[in-house]
Amino acid sequence: MPVPAPTKVVSVTSPAPRPAATAPCALADLRTVLADTGADAAFDAVAVLGVTHDSRQVRPGDLYAALPGAHVHGARFAAQAFAAGAVAVLTDPAGAHLIATDSDRDGSPTPASAAGSASVPVLVSADPRRDLAAVAARVYGDPSARLRLLGVTGTNGKTTTAFLLDAGLRAAGHTTGLIGTVETRVGAQRLASAHTTPEASDLQALLALMVERGVDATAMEISSHALAQHRADALHVAGALFTNLSQDHLDFHPTMEDYFEAKATLFAPGRADVAVIGVADPWGRRLAARRPDAITFAVEGPADWTVAELSAGPTGSDLVAHGPHGLRVPLSVPLPGRFNVANALGALALLVAVGVDANRAAVGIGALPGVPGRMERVEAGQPFLALVDFAHTPDAVTTLLETVRPLVKGRLITVLGCGGDRDRGKRPLMGEAAATLADLAILTSDNPRSEDPAAILAEMLAGVPAHLRVDSRVLVRPDRSAAIAAAVAAAGPQDAVVVAGKGHESGQEQAGVITPFDDRIVLRAALDALDAGHRAESEGPTGRVRG
């Protein structure tokens, strides 16, 4: 069935989930958290009921965190927050000055600069983004202390590992929550995810909602951005897992060293009770050396958890996981690829380390039906394999294509783009990986965002070896729908079509506008159109098969 023409929509911020009820928190308590001595003590009895960093989401009784932004300071929206019912503000000295200036100009409530002169107190911090996590945790009753929180960080495999952890926890009888790139889940309720790891105020509110609804264990992805921006501060982490590290996000982190150090903060003393670290790459081995009590894993040792009797197939693997103290656990991994064996092994190691029965954890892992947009098959009766995957780093693209290659006897065809306003250094590397490892690479747009799609494609092409540009192994189709259709049209029996880069995403962003676009839907439509075309070719004018 053809896909309707997409309608362009402007991205809209959805309300962040919060608990239905929150015990009032006195402003005096928040001043203690901040070690604040500057605010007027006359406001200490003010009751704070919630926290938000988004003026559009302020509710009566909230503390509004007016944070410095990349382009505009949040203090510019303080009047809007006051009008919506904010009872206090957390900001930096520059924000406090802006609030005072704007208040004097338009007559809105003034900050608490002197007794009797203000209606809204302002808490001033040298680094309000850093302090927001602790403040929000206090307002929402320190929710992470009331559930078993498992955090996953690394470049690749975070989403799949979080899903595997969730499956193992549920099999062990826990009521679970899930926080990550693909979705947020509170018990049985699924919610859309705006970020891999929410902002600190939203994260603490979400965890409080989970506690309110009876969740007792949560698996969450923790990004390097979240660690660097203190979103994951003030969390009680029962166990933290490191998957791997390879080039990504160098638009945000100045160097790979900086990227690594951001990840490493999750494993610093006092951050996580248990550390489980993948040591298949040098970064993991380096991290494990810093944490002597870490539990290590690798498909091939040396490590505390390794794999034996591995039997891999096109839909998954069967193996025996060897753990500490002679532990042997039969494990079925329902996801294809050696990298998913590593993801499952790490998840099993962490579950066992935090007290989950090994066999129950293995049953849960083996029952996972799949992860949206991760090696996800699209079936429409076609005589070839069709997959959608989120691979968007050089290492992930390489691993993906090397995994698919032995699954098919025919050609490997891939569709790949690179996102705009992101790490530009990985674009030629991704172009090179696609061109070198596929029989046909079709380079296309991903999410151009504010960049020129043609410029992004030129940077991808710069990494393609010259001899591959002229023998029809590399095509450029800027329109992603056309690129997917071209890949399907080029595929024959026993081939594979791999559409990489966007995975589960349901939109394509360009110039501040998001157009609905789901690779899985577009790929299925192309497959359906191919099937319809084949039927039309095989039938005569009367609808009968030509003979």
Which pLDDT score, from 0 to 100, does residue 115 have? 31
Mean pLDDT (10-residue bins), the chain, 547 residues: 37 77 95 75 92 97 95 95 96 94 62 50 94 98 98 97 98 98 95 90 98 98 97 98 95 96 96 98 98 97 96 94 97 96 98 98 97 95 96 96 95 97 96 97 97 98 89 92 98 98 96 96 96 66 44
Confidence at residue 543, expressed as pLDDT on a 0 to 100 scale: 46
What order of strands is seen across the sheet that includes strand 189-191?
Answer: 189-191, 184-186, 176-179, 217-221, 148-153, 237-242, 272-278, 295-297
Under a CB-based contact definition with an 8 Å cutoff, are residues 198 and 210 in contact? no
pLDDT of residue 161: 98
What distance in Å separates the CA atoms of residue 491 and residue 114, rounded to the nearest whole number?
Answer: 74
Give the distance between the most distant pair of CA atoms in the chain.
Answer: 95
What is the rounded CA–CA span in Å between residue 193 and residue 183?
5
Residue 144 CB-half CA count within 13 A: 26
What is the DSSP pairing of strand 306-313 with strand 316-322? antiparallel
Domains assigned to the chain? 25-138 (3.40.1390.10), 142-367 (3.40.1190.10), 376-534 (3.90.190.20)
pLDDT of residue 12: 43
pLDDT for the residue numbered 106: 57
Joined together, the tokens standing for residue 294 give 């870490």
What distances in angstroms separate CA 394 from CA 100, 294, 307, 339, 463, one per listed residue?
Answer: 49, 28, 26, 14, 11
Which stretches does DSSP call E strand in 257-370?
272-278, 295-297, 306-313, 316-322, 328-333
Peptide linkage before 394 cis (omega within 30 of 0): no
CB 39 within 8 A of CB 124: yes
Q: What does the block give as tokens for 500?
A: 């990489």
Q: How many CB atoms lie within 10 A of CB 394?
A: 23
- H or E element that contains 65: strand 62-66
Residue 220: beta bridge partners?
151, 179
Q: What is the spatial distance between Cα 206 and Cα 227, in angstroms, rounded to a whole number? A: 18
Q: How far apart are CA 232 and CA 184, in angstroms?
A: 16
Q: Which long-range contacts (CB under 8 A, 24 or more apart) does 319-328 make?
A: 321/345, 321/348, 321/362, 323/348, 323/349, 323/352, 323/358, 324/295, 327/352, 327/358
Residue 107: strand, helix, or coil:
coil
Q: What angle do helix axes 480-490 and 519-538 make, rounded to 10 degrees? A: 40
Q: What residues contact 29, with CB distance under 8 A and at least 6 apart?
A: 138
